[in-house]
């Protein structure tokens, strides 16, 4: 390898902003960034002044001792404050509760230099939380706040919240009251993304008047009601909390906006058939629908020009599904029985059926309700005029003698032939059907590449 002219050290000649860009884009943590100091004398302190400060006390089973970890955080933060350096992100994940008193000072230092992204992961080793200092609420330049195992303890009557630049709020296992949550949301005029997971202290969530909110996810929070009024909302996800083995019912009301809702995901929701119809009538632009364990749904009827993707999983009470969506390209269904299912399959590119048979069927496949096979027969007829259809079947070996002949008889009627799975010759349209249990499986793959029976 040819040596550089006059021993030129090109690494040391890189501009400061380029060096910081390299250190940030590689997403190095504290120890990894510190190693770069050996590259040249000029790089010796750049890892301390980089705009992304990421501190993880533990990596796998290896943890930095408390005293060393404190010094490693103190030094770069002190440099940023003394030199008034730009701090784009401050990330801290720690294990020792003894760090809580230091954390107040570190957060204050980060906010003093106008940190943009603040991420705090407090330890999840007991029932206690890290109490946020009041200085957090004065972070006027902060655009992303991500908290885990933290507690809001501010007084809503005396604390002035200045989250005027906040666009993303992520709360995981955080303790916050209804009034505190309402106060935080009301002081975020630019908020675009809110995600709350397994948070304590709340019984209701009202998100009203947020003109820029695009995404809202409420997951595993024990709430009695969720009311949303956001004219630009595009995505709403809700997962109902399980309380003493049962789902905790919650009233969900997404008020009329500008028909911008495109993604709807509900898990464990107590939504009824009528409420579901009302949602689709109110938001005709939904393109992605994901329903899991919605235990009150019995009849799903959808008519939509925009619907593109449907995932239905473990809807134990479902009896009938009718989907008239000419632009539907993906349909996934998972459950222990086959409901009556009718759909417009003209644009469908993939369908996946995943069945978990009841335990009684393991010993006697004849225990399956006859409507199961009848409904499956009806479903396959939806694809009678589909070119390039593939059906994949998985079932326990012990059931194959009983089950596979039934499937063969069904498929021969509609012109399928046995083939082998090859990634290079997958047809555009595919129907996957899995019949499975926990143990041994064998695979039967059939496909149809032409319109007429072979």
Task: Give the pLDDT band of residue 439 (cuts 50, 70, 90).
Answer: very low
- Mean pLDDT confidence for 127-153: 95
Retrieve residue 393's tokens: 């079947």
Task: Give the pLDDT band of residue 368 (cuts 50, 70, 90).
Answer: low
* pLDDT score of 196 more than 70: yes
CA distance readout (Å), 100 to 13, 57, 108, 126, 262: 41, 13, 13, 14, 41
- Mean pLDDT confidence for 374-379: 74
Please state, in angstroms and rounded to a whole number, the distance separating the CA atoms of residues 222 and 83.
46
Retrieve residue 106's tokens: 């570190």
Cα four-point dihedral sign 20, 22, 26, 29: negative
The DSSP annotation for 220-239 comes to EE--SEEEEE-TT--EEEEE
pLDDT for position 207:
93
Q: Which residues pair with 235 in a beta bridge?
A: 215, 263
Task: Give the pLDDT band of residue 402 (cuts 50, 70, 90).
Answer: very low
pLDDT for position 423:
40
Task: Give the pLDDT band of residue 175 (cuts 50, 70, 90).
Answer: very high
**Residue 300 CB burial class (10 angstroms; 0-12, 13-18, ≥19):** buried
Average pLDDT of the chain? 79
pLDDT for position 85:
83
- Mean pLDDT confidence for 344-358: 76
Q: Is 93 helix (H, G, I), strand (E, B) or coil?
A: strand
pLDDT for position 444:
38
Among 255-264, 380-389, 426-435, the minimum mean pLDDT is found in: 426-435
Helix, strand, coil % in the chain, rounded to nearest 5: 30, 30, 40
Among 163-167, 278-282, 427-431, the minimum mean pLDDT is found in: 427-431
Residue 77: HSE in the Cβ half-sphere, 13 Å Cα cutoff: 25
* pLDDT score of 405 more than 80: no
pLDDT for position 447:
37
Please state, in angstroms and rounded to a whole number, the distance separating the CA atoms of residues 182 and 148.
19
Domain boundary assignment for the chain? 15-85, 116-261
- Mean pLDDT confidence for 93-105: 94
The model carries a pTM of 0.81
The kind and range of the H/E element at 392 are strand 389-395
């Amino acid at each position: 390898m040819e040596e550089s002219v006059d021993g030129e050290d090109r690494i040391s000649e890189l501009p400061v902003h380029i060096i910081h860009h390299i250190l940030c884009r590689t997403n190095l943590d504290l120890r990894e960034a510190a190693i770069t100091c050996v590259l040249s004398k000029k790089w010796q302190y750049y890892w301390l002044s980089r705009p992304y400060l990421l501190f993880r006390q533990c990596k796998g089973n290896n943890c930095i001792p408390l005293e060393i970890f404190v010094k490693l955080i103190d030094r770069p933060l002190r440099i940023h404050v003394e030199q008034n350096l730009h701090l784009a992100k401050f990330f801290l994940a720690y294990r020792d509760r003894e760090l809580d008193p230091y954390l107040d000072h570190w957060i204050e230092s980060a906010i003093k230099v106008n940190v943009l992204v603040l991420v705090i992961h407090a330890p999840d080793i007991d029932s206690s939380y890290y109490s946020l200092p009041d200085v957090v609420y004065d972070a006027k330049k902060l655009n992303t706040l991500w908290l885990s195992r933290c507690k809001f303890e501010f007084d809503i009557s005396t604390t002035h919240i200045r989250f005027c630049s906040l666009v993303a709020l992520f709360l995981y296992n955080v303790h916050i009251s209804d009034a505190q949550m309402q106060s935080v949301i009301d002081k975020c005029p630019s908020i675009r993304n809110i995600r709350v997971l397994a948070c304590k202290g709340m019984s209701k969530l009202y998100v009203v008047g947020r003109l820029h909110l695009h995404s809202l996810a409420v997951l595993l929070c024990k709430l009695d009601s969720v009311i949303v009024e956001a004219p630009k909302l595009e995505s709403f996800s809700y997962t109902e909390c399980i309380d003493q083995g049962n789902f905790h019912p919650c009233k969900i009301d997404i008020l009329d906006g500008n028909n911008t809702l495109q993604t709807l995901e509900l898990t464990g929701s107590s939504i009824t058939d009528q409420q579901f119809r009302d949602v689709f009538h109110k938001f005709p632009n939904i393109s992605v629908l994901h329903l899991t364990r919605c235990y009150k749904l019995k009849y799903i009827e959808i008519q939509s020009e925009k619907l593109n993707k449907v995932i239905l999983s473990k809807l134990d009470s479902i009896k009938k599904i009718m989907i008239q969506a000419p632009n539907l390209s993906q349909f996934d269904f998972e459950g222990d029985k086959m409901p009556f299912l009718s759909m417009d399959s003209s644009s469908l590119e993939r369908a996946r059926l995943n069945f978990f048979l009841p335990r009684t069927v393991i010993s006697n496949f004849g225990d399956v309700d006859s409507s199961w096979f009848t409904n499956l027969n009806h479903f396959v007829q939806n694809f009678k005029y589909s070119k390039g259809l593939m059906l994949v079947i998985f079932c326990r070996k012990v059931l194959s003698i009983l089950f596979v002949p039934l499937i063969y008889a069904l498929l021969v009627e509609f012109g399928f032939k046995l083939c082998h799975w090859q990634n290079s010759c997958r047809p555009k349209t595919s129907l996957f059907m899995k019949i499975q249990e926990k143990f041994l499986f064998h695979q039967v793959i059939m496909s149809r590449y032409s319109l007429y029976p072979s």
